[in-house]
């Protein structure tokens, strides 16, 4: 009896895993077929950083740090907003009939995380290229950028789901998201202050705290999304 139950559970887990992977693959395919949105974001990153480059030359490290995280925030809103807004009503209904909402939201979170990680790395490269490079510990800063991009993408993916359900544009995402993201941005910019000199070391408890916050967001998203989804 136990064995049968275990097999069923394992089968279900495998099934939902394959569902998630299929959904991620579908998003990836869409991204490849409709390349205009991908290039749109690339252009957004390039243009934003270029505007900063033109309006200020070689900012000091504190300003550099602040600007970098604010730019990350705006890139994230633009990159993630479309994930739910692009889905038409008919398509949502179709997904509703074939997949579990939990798998659906996990797939979106996974895809947006990967997408945002890529965009973060790209914007870091452009930022150091145009705005000067004050970073002393490159490896640690890259790690922080990935961690920060991941956290931002998780929160804004869920808020994009809310905004899409409310049939609103990306502006309401910013209103809903800014107060929630403030502590995380503060933590990140505090942490990244330590990579500008060799004398200070990175605070590991803070890194773990951000990780814990991210896990909390995933947890909340999987619990709350099923309510959002049914009409």
Partner 1 sequence: MSEPKNYMYKSWWKILSGVLLLYTFAAGILLSVPRLPQLQETIRNLYFHVCMWFAMMVLFTISFINAIKYLRSNKLIYDIKSRQYAVVGIILGLLGYLTGIIWMSYTWADPNNPAYASFNSIAREPKLIGAAIALLVYFAYLVLRDSIQDIDKKARISAVYNIFAFAMLFPSIWILPRLLPSLHPGAEGNPALNFNDISPTMRLVFYPAVIGWSLLGVWIATLKIRIKMIKEKIIL
Q: By CB under 8 A, name the binding residues for partner 1.
A: 155, 158, 162, 165-168, 172, 175-176, 178-180, 182-183, 186-187, 190, 209, 213, 216-217, 220, 224, 227-228, 231
CB 83, min distance to partner 1, A? 17
* Distance of alpha carbon 56 from alpha carbon 52, whole angstroms: 6
Quote the radius of gyration of the chain (alpha carbons, Å): 19
Q: By CB neighbour count within 10 A (0-12 exposed, 13-18 middle, 19+ buried), where does 9 fall?
A: exposed
Looking at beta carbons only, is 41 or 105 nearer to partner 1? 105
Nearest distance, CB of residue 115 and partner 1, angstroms? 22
Given the complex with partner 1, which of 43 and 220 has the nearer CB atom? 220
Least distance CB 181 / partner 1 (angstroms)? 9
| Tokens matching residue 95 | 């997904």
Q: What angle (nearest 5°) sits at the alpha carbon of residue 227, between those of residues 226 and 231?
A: 105
Shorter beta-carbon distance to partner 1: residue 43 or 175: 175
At its nearest, how many Å lie between partner 1 and the CB of residue 230?
8
**Helices 61-85/170-192 angle, 10° precision:** 150
Query: Of the two residues 133 and 169, which places its CB atom closer to partner 1 in the complex?
Result: 169
- The position carrying tokens 């309006």 is 55
| CA distance from start to end of the chain | 38
* 149 versus 177: smaller Cβ distance to partner 1: 177
Nearest-approach distance from CB 89 to partner 1, in angstroms: 13
How far apart CA 228 and CA 226 sit, in angstroms, is: 5
């Amino acid at each position: 009896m136990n064995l049968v139950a275990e097999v069923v559970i394992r089968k279900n887990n495998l099934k939902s895993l394959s569902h998630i992977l299929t959904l991620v693959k579908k998003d990836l395919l869409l991204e490849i077929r409709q390349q205009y949105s991908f290039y749109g974001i690339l252009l957004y990153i390039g243009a934003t950083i270029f505007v900063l480059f033109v309006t200020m030359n070689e900012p000091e490290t504190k300003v550099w740090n602040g600007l970098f995280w604010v730019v990350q925030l705006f890139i994230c809103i633009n990159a993630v907003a479309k994930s739910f807004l692009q889905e038409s009503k008919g398509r949502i209904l179709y997904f509703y009939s074939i997949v579990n909402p939990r798998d659906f939201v996990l797939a979106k979170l996974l895809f947006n995380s990967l997408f945002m990680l890529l965009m973060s790395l790209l914007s870091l490269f452009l930022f150091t290229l145009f705005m000067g490079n004050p970073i002393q510990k490159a490896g640690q800063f890259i790690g922080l950028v990935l961690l920060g991009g991941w956290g931002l993408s998780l929160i804004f993916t869920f808020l994009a789901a809310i905004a899409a359900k409310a049939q609103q544009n990306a502006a309401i995402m910013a209103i809903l998201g800014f107060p929630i993201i403030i502590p995380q941005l503060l933590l990140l910019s505090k942490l990244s202050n330590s990579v500008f000199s060799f004398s200070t070391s990175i605070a590991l408890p803070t890194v773990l705290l951000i990780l814990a916050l991210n896990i909390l967001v995933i947890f909340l998203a999987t619990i709350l999304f099923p309510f959002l989804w049914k009409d």
